[in-house]
Amino acid sequence: MEIVAYGVLADEEPLLRDAFERAFADRHRLRCLGLFLNRDTAPTAAGHEIVLSSVNDTLDAEVLRQLAQEGTRMIAQRATGYNNIDLSAARELGLTVARVSFYSPYSVAEFAWALALAVNRRLVRAVHRTRDFDFRLDGLMGRDLHGRTAGVVGTGKIGAAFARIAHGFGMRLLGWDIAENPDCLALGMEYVERERLFAEADLISLHVPLLPDTHHLVDAKTLARMRNDAILINSSRGGLVDTDALLEALRAGRLGGVGLDVYEEEAGVFFLDKSLEVMTDERLARLMTFNNVLVTSHQAYFTRDAVGQIAATSVRNVEDHLAGRTGDNVLVAPPAP
């Protein structure tokens, strides 16, 4: 059998191929494609029972219907998030859908801190200057984080890892989540209402999934509550932040800095080379003009450790499907025989 994977990145492919070759040898072949799965590219999956999807694929009802009609029976998402998949349509079509429910939380938490530190200490601007042999310090002043308040929105595995680093910096910890994490409480975290967290925190990092209840969690009202010099970091999902509201706050001279590894309209832009094209997304282009905003292209998870775990879990999901098992990673179970 040939299994096809979409949206495979150059540095990801060797790890993905190695995991599948060790598990299946010559029994099943893996075809890796750099293109994203959507309505235009769905015909390339014809005849493939198993499709490995990426977070930037578009798996709406129409795409899933095309896949099912051409013989696909399983979607194995190589990510934790699955807001790009119409699960209801998959269920109606009898498609099995699985995801990677866990990989290194340190990859994302550490990258969130890399963004926070780079924004706070103006590292990107400093490097651009020194490359031009401009060694002035004007406009590069940051703040000590020790003794200040970190607000962690979402205190699961990644949020807890972020909180442990904040604790190491000597920061006061505020948390918000539907349930309190004992590991975070042990660090001295105080769980508070969301409004208070945004009002008091000097540094706010988002670590919640994108759900209907969390869409635009950071909107105009939330931004208005924040301190004028607060730093906002989003390494979770772009839809958590209302970009228009964020642009208005930045235009008003509010916020000490913003670090975004995700963007609500990133599909069709992130992971691609757009350097020779006109950027038609005016909101993204506008974000890039603010010198206290740092945007990266959804790379927080992108460590050898995390990608290796994603590949290994994808193999297990495929093995479960072929054996007729329903594992913990299954979002839509196969239809009853």
Q: Which of 73, 123, 116, 127 is nearest to 96 (CA)?
A: 73
- What is the pairing mode between strands 330-332 and 96-98? antiparallel
Of the residues 12, 200, 264, 266, which is catalytic?
Answer: 266
Of the residues 28, 298, 316, 321, which is catalytic?
Answer: 298
**By the 8 A CB rule, do 36 and 58 touch?**
yes
Catalytic, 265? Answer no
Query: Does residue 319 sit in helix, strand or coil?
Result: helix
Q: How far apart are CA 278 and CA 141, in angstroms?
A: 33
Q: How far apart are CA 178 and CA 194, in angstroms?
A: 11
Q: How far apart are CA 113 and CA 97, in angstroms?
A: 32
Catalytic, 200? Answer no
How many C-beta neighbours within 10 Å does residue 251 have? Answer: 10
Residue 147 Cα to chain centre, angstroms? 29
Residues 6 or more apart whose CB falls under 8 angstroms from that of 283 comprise 243, 244, 247, 265
Q: How far apart are CA 262 and CA 87, in angstroms?
A: 23
Catalytic, 237? Answer yes
How many C-beta neighbours within 10 Å does residue 168 have? Answer: 11
Of the residues 237, 264, 316, 321, which is catalytic?
Answer: 237
Residue 287 Cα to chain centre, angstroms? 18
Q: Which of 210, 159, 204, 202 is nearest to 180 (CA)?
A: 159
Residue 135, CB-side half-sphere exposure with 13 Å CA sphere: 1
Query: Does residue 145 sit in helix, strand or coil?
Result: coil
Measured at the CA of 91, the angle between CA 5 and CA 43, to 5 degrees, comes to 40
R_g over Cα of the chain: 21
Query: Does residue 166 sit in helix, strand or coil?
Result: helix
Please give the positions annotated as active site. 237, 266, 298
